[in-house]
Every structure is written in structure tokens, then in C-alpha cells.
A and B are shown apart, each in its own frame.
Chain A
Amino acid sequence: MTEGKVVKGIQFVNFRDAGDPIKMAQFYDKEGADELVFLDITATVENRDILVKVVEETAKKVSIPFSVGGGIRTVEDMRMILKAGADKVSVNTGAFKNPRLISQCAQTFGNQCVVLSLDAKKVKNNRWNVFINGGRTDTEVSAISWAKQAVKLGAGEILLTSIDTDGMKKGFNIELTKAVTKVVNVPVIASGGAGKLEDFYEIFSKGKADAALAASLFHFKELTIKKVKNYLKNRNIPVRLV
């Protein structure tokens, strides 16, 4: 989201308008989504009020869990979003710069509502670095070690986005996801790259993801959630059908 609208980019740039977040949230709730994720990609102080409003309105309308992230720097930022009705809050740049943010939030609100949002990009073979500031800054820190450290600090879940595959619709990043799920014992949500039904099957079977996130595909109605779930069910991946 940016300035209260849903947008979707390709490899974190070239954002395209996708609609009204509250209406879309309601639509996905009915469609059978298991969880909603809102990420405020511009997340400036001015936009904070818009975000809180969107969260409040969404909380009134949907009945599935949803997590919200973007620009979270302090425990108070997180409290504001939770109070507005989010079930979980994701931290990214703010937590990387100040890892204590994770432990403080986990102690205050419980591990289950602290999600580490990790944007990773391949820098060489079997090496992915953490990128912050909306994917613009290479931290030169390994994504695998940051994932491990964040979980140790209290992150209850990891939203793992592969910048390389984001918006490309050529499949999730199986290698990266597998490498992260292997070293942490919290749920990992794979994000970035879903383009066809098989991609969902592969990220669960080969990537060992606990959940998969897709945006463009659903926003632009190329696939429906129902279709994806039926496909997975027929291949013995446990799904919730509504």
C-alpha cells in the first residue's frame, strides 16, 4: 500500500495501482484467504494516519487474521497498529537497525504477533543478503543469519520476500525459502514470484514453506484463491476450503 491505495510492483519498483484496500480485504476474506498482509511501502509519518484508518476499517469488516507492517520503529508504533485492530505487526528496516525492537515487542505483545519481514536478494551462489529501506539498501548481512537472530530475539513468524522473484511470476524462490525454513522453527511465509498453480505446490513441497503469499495474481484476477486451494488439495497439501 501507499497513500491508502493498494499497489503492486515488480522487484520492488514500477508500482501499479490495484485498488481500495478495505474493499479488497473484504473480497479476499470471502474468497477464502487464510490471512491478509498489509505492507505500507512508503510508510512515512504523514502516511501513518492513513494506515491506522485503513487498519481500523479493515478490522471491522474482515474476520480472518491480518498483519500490518511498514515504518515500525518503536514499541509504541506497534501498539498503535495492534490497537487499530491488526493481529500481527511486521517489522523490517526498523528491526534491522535496532534488533532490540523485536525482543521488546515480543515481550510486550507476545511472539505470536511479531513478524519479521525480510527482503532478501541473491548476491552470489547460495548467498542472499538482507535488503532494507524498501529493497534499496544492501546491508551485506546474510539473510539466513538475520532470520536466525530475529527468531532468537522473539520473532514469531517470518515473511520472506525474494526481491529477485518478486513480481516476475516465474515461481517463488525455492532455494532461499528452503535455506531459511531449515534454520528456524517458526512459520515461514514465502512471498514473491507466484505466477501459476504449480508454483504454489512447489513452494510447499520443495521450499518447505508454511504459507505462501501472492499479490499480483489475485489483485489482477489472474488466479482465484479457490482455484489455488483446490489445486493444492488435489495434490495432498493440507488447505482450508471455505
Chain B
Amino acid sequence: MIVIIDYGLGNLGSVKNTLDKLGVDSVILSSKDKIEAGSGLILPGVGSANQGMKNLRKTGLDKMIINEIKIGKPFLGICLGMQLLFSKSEEGNVRCLNIIEGRVKKFNSQLKVPQIGWNKVKTTEDKQRLFKKIPDNSSFYFVNSYYCVPKDKSIIVGESEYGVNFCSILVKKNITATQFHPEKSGSIGLQLIKNWLRARLSS
């Protein structure tokens, strides 16, 4: 059973629809006790970092996520769900979960912000066969004004370019996190989620 964490921000339904399509049992939950029963956790998210952190703290989900990750539970963070794992976000200058050392910065470019649309992901390393059946430079769907800058560059497994080169997917032990929305990225996105499920949950 995969638990999709509901912390009061949008886009939970599309993650659930995607898991349904793949025939994977999942449930959207907001209560921290039940969340611990999940065999894997997904933290989705469309919204702002300060609102996201506020909601996580208010419900105690912040500590729960930190703990679940510490005990090795497979974890997938999507978009804001990736950014919240970092130490600090420029969005509202908010302190985040600090599970991954690094900062979340705003795109500072002449391009349109937020980035809304498809962008290529150049894979640097295929840890855990995450990109099985996914050609390099495949396009995924992004909606973001901010991007993550991990201190430890070795956790970056894919990069994209939008004015700057930025980390669009990372793997650190049991954590996988994507800046793009695999649940909105057509068949390639479905394949990535399938790969994640296979790599993380079959062991």
C-alpha cells in the first residue's frame, strides 16, 4: 500500500489516478498514525513552500516524514514535495525539512517564470534502474518557479536546463525526488513511476 500524503495542497488526485492506472494499491491520507502503515510514501505538491511547511508543521507530518525517511521507507517527492526536503527555500525564505542539505532557489533568468511545460531531462546516472525503458533526454512536464541545489552533487541523477542547469531528479538512499510531475508526463512518466515502484518496493 502506497500512501499519498495529503497536506492540504493540490494535485493529490492525479497521483492517485496514476497509481490506479498502474494497478497499485494506494490511499490519500493526512493522519500521521495511518501514514506509517504505508510500504512507500509519496509527497506530491503544487503550491508554495511556506504554505507547505506551515501545513506540515501544524499537523506534525514534518516529524513523521523525517522519521519515516530515517527508518528507510521508500519515499518519492514530487515538485514541491522535492523542494520541501531541502534545508531552506528562497520562496518566503522558509526553513524546510532539512533532510537533504542544500537550498531551493528561484529561477533568475530572462525566461518566463514559472516554467510551465515540457522540458528534457538529461540523465547523469541511473541509480536503481530508474530510467529503464526511458530514453535519455526524454521530456517531462514541469511547473516550477524554484529549483533545488543539493550540496552533495552526487545525488543528482538527472538535470534539465531552464536558463540554468538544474537538478530535475535526485536519488539519495531511499529518497527519490523529481522536480517534474511524472504523473502528468504521459507514458514516459508512468514508466518512471513504475520503475520507482519496482526498484523500491520489490526488495
The interface of chain A, by Cβ under 8 A from chain B, is 29-30, 32, 34, 59-60, 63-65, 82-83, 85, 87, 109-113, 156-157, 185-187, 210-211, 240, 242
Contact = CB atoms under 8 A, between A and B. Distances in A.
Interface of B: 10-11, 13-14, 17-18, 20-21, 46-48, 112-114, 116-118, 139, 141, 143, 181, 183-190
A210 B117 contact: yes
B18 A63 contact: yes
B117 A34 contact: yes
A109 B45 CA distance: 11
Nearest to A34: B118
Contacts of A85: 13-14, 17
Contacts of B48: 110
Contacts of B46: 110, 112-113
Most B C-beta atoms less than 10 A away, residue of A34, A111, A112, A157: A112
Most B C-beta atoms less than 10 A away, residue of A63, A64, A112, A187: A63
Closest 7 pairs between A and B when the two form their complex, measured CB to CB: A240-B139, A240-B118, A112-B143, A65-B184, A85-B13, A64-B186, A60-B17
Contacts of A185: 112-113
Contacts of A110: 10, 46-48
A63 B116 contact: no
A113 B112 CA distance: 15
Contacts of A242: 186-188
A85 B114 CA distance: 21
Nearest to A59: B17
B139 A87 contact: no
Contacts of A113: 10, 46
A30 B114 CA distance: 27
